[in-house]
Chains A and B, each alone.
Chain A
Amino acid sequence: MTFYTHSFTEIIKSAFSAETWRLLFPALISTLYMVGIATILTLIVGLILGAILVMTDKDGLTPIPFLNRILGAVINALRSLPSMIMIILTLPLARLITGKGYGANACIIALAISCIPMYARLVENSLLEVDKGKIEAAKSMGIDNFKILFTLILPESLPSIVRSFTVAVIAIISMTALAGSFGAGGIGNIAIQYGFNRFRYDILIATVFVLIIFAQIVQMAGDFGAKLILKKRHLL
């Protein structure tokens, strides 16, 4: 069902037919599963790494320049790899951890490893936005450094952290689709198997539609969350 053999309206009609969505639905669930787990991993590890980057910086609260440089270099190295290469690279690791070099769980590890460095950098930027004067005020009260991180820097930068989290989740969604071509299943797999290999443009369009809706929902939720916090603090 390509544009050469069928009219545009026929393809669109088929894209939203019950038959197409019966095919798509299990893939959708599988994608949600992968995105969900990868998101949780990214959120936790990314936050920790971002906080370590800020704290150990030479101008940070607990400067450890050596650790900071090494962590920075590793993050930069991981970020410079294209997602597809990252998936190939992490397959042996996935096999080691999950016992399988393919499937949803293997894919989650690749997703997390390639999105964590990005989110760590975004968190770093968010945390650095907190006014130095506020941190000094807390220091002048005799609050210890870790308490300043958890009770001041994190709450102050929360709206910004929520926004960068949105960016990270959308990146994970698009990478999940890519991982489909490596046997991870999900929406991306459907798009390649039907849309590309079998010229089913109707199904391709349906997958594109689903991915766009996903990204929109995440973006809207993120914006809403950030705005809610800002409104509560009367900063908007």
Chain B
Amino acid sequence: MDKNFIHVINLTKSFYTQNKKIEVLKNINLQIAKGDIYGIIGFSGAGKSTLVRCINRLETPDSGQILIGGKDITMLSKSELNEERKKIGMIFQTFNLFDSKTVFQNIEYPLKSSHKNKSERKKSVLELIELVGLTEKTYDYPSQLSGGQKQRVGIARALANKPDVLLCDEATSALDPQTTLAILDLLIDIKEKFGITILMISHEVEVIKYACNHVAVIEHGSIKEKGSTLTVLQNPQSDTGKIFTKVEQQLKEEWILKGGVV
């Protein structure tokens, strides 16, 4: 049996500005195993965000296939796509919580178009709130929460329909280091509990190192290298990979020169 759950095959995507064609994704191929945490790292504008947005078709790819559990996302009709999207959660850098709704209502929102009745919904929402550790904030509004708490709500909301896949679009980039760690721990915990497959994009090596088992380095719209996080980040072959690890190394050396302890 194929252990890979997500297949991205020859994916291409271009944007058009006035009369110029910009190739954002060129012939992308990825295989992601079920229950894996897969990282995609690259500089701003490398195309990583577009890639992850193609997976739940917030962007429509020009060509190529995206198979999730054998189903081709690119071929689905509008209503099939909406059903499939319920199985793909997504969290965002800017959280995108709804200011008009409380924490409870935010998490309940995706459940409202499911078959669950009110008391079943309430039960699931309260469980999710407990899972992300926000029981005391149940009836608060998003504007009363800190960044880390907002992302916890984002995660709970993304998990409401019990998805198979969780897409994280720079989910920790707006958070401080300590909160980033707490959020990553939560994601790892969720992966262990539910066996969910997580696809995480980031421009921070630390995040990838901490959470991901596999990583792909993306540069100018193509994947330059991929493999287990350990192999790729210990001996990077691509320019992007080298720069990322070199910058990190340099910072560390300068720190030691100043008399700091690693």
- Kindly state whether residue B161 has any CB partner on chain A within 8 Å: yes
Complex Cα gap A164–B142 (Å):
25
Q: Is the CB of B144 within 8 A of A141?
A: no
Name the residue of chain B whose CB is nearest to the CB of A140. Answer: B90
Instruction: Please provide the chain A residues from 123 to 159 with a CB less than 8 Å away from any CB of chain B in the complex.
Output: 131, 133-134, 136-144, 147, 151-152, 155-156, 158
Q: Among A134, A155, A234, which residue has its beta carbon within 8 angstroms of that of B143?
A: A234
Complex Cα gap A144–B82 (Å):
7
Complex Cα gap A155–B105 (Å):
12
- Kindly state whether residue A235 has any CB partner on chain B within 8 Å: yes
- Kindly state whether residue A22 has any CB partner on chain B within 8 Å: no
Complex Cα gap A142–B140 (Å):
25
Q: Is the CB of B92 within 8 A of A133?
A: yes
- Kindly state whether residue B242 has any CB partner on chain A within 8 Å: no
Instruction: Please provide the chain B residues from 67 to 100 with a CB less than 8 Å away from any CB of chain A in the complex.
Output: 79, 81-86, 88-90, 92, 94, 96-100
Known: A141-B85, A142-B85, A144-B113. A234 touches B90 (CB 8 A): no
Q: Is the CB of B109 within 8 A of A138?
A: yes
Known: A133-B94, A141-B110. A233 touches B99 (CB 8 A): yes
Across-interface contacts of B182 in A (CB, < 8 A): none
- Kindly state whether residue B256 has any CB partner on chain A within 8 Å: no
Chain B nearest CB: distance from A73 CB in Å? 25
Complex Cα gap A158–B160 (Å):
26
Q: Could you say which of B82, B83, B94 has the most chain A C-beta atoms within 10 Å of its C-beta? A: B82
- Chain B interface residue count, Cβ-Cβ cutoff 8 angstroms: 32
Known: A142-B82, A233-B141. A133 touches B109 (CB 8 A): no
Instruction: Give me 16 A-to-B residue pairs in the complex whose CB atoms sit less than 8 angstroms apart, sorted by A's number.
Output: A133-B94, A134-B98, A136-B58, A137-B92, A139-B58, A141-B85, A141-B110, A141-B157, A142-B86, A142-B161, A143-B82, A144-B79, A144-B113, A155-B100, A156-B98, A234-B140
Number of A-B contacts defined by CB within 8 Å: 75
Q: Among B79, B88, B99, B113, which residue has its beta carbon within 8 angstroms of that of A140?
A: B88
Chain A residues touching B, range: 20 to 34
Name the residue of chain B whose CB is nearest to the CB of A235. Answer: B143
Q: Is the CB of A137 within 8 A of B161?
A: no
Q: Chain B interface secondary structure, helix, strand, loop or mixed?
A: mixed
Complex Cα gap A131–B93 (Å):
14
List 4 additional contacts besides A136-B96, A143-B82, A158-B100; criterion CB under 8 Å.
A137-B157, A138-B109, A156-B98, A235-B141
Across-interface contacts of A142 in B (CB, < 8 A): 81-86, 110, 113, 161
The 9 closest A-B pairs by CB, nearest first: A142-B85, A137-B96, A141-B110, A142-B82, A155-B100, A140-B90, A142-B86, A133-B96, A234-B143
Q: Among A137, A139, A156, which residue has its beta carbon within 8 angstroms of that of B99?
A: A156
Across-interface contacts of B85 in A (CB, < 8 A): 139-142
Q: Among B86, B112, B141, which residue has its beta carbon within 8 angstroms of that of A151?
A: B112
Across-interface contacts of A234 in B (CB, < 8 A): 140-141, 143-144
Complex Cα gap A143–B113 (Å):
7
- Kindly state whether residue B151 has any CB partner on chain A within 8 Å: no
Q: Mark B165-183, 1 if CB is under 8 A from A, else 0.
A: 0010000000000000000
Name the residue of chain B whose CB is nearest to the CB of A139. Answer: B58
Q: Is the CB of A140 within 8 A of B58?
A: yes
Across-interface contacts of A232 in B (CB, < 8 A): 141
Q: Mark B32-63, 1 if CB is under 8 A from A, else 0.
A: 00000000000000000000000010100000
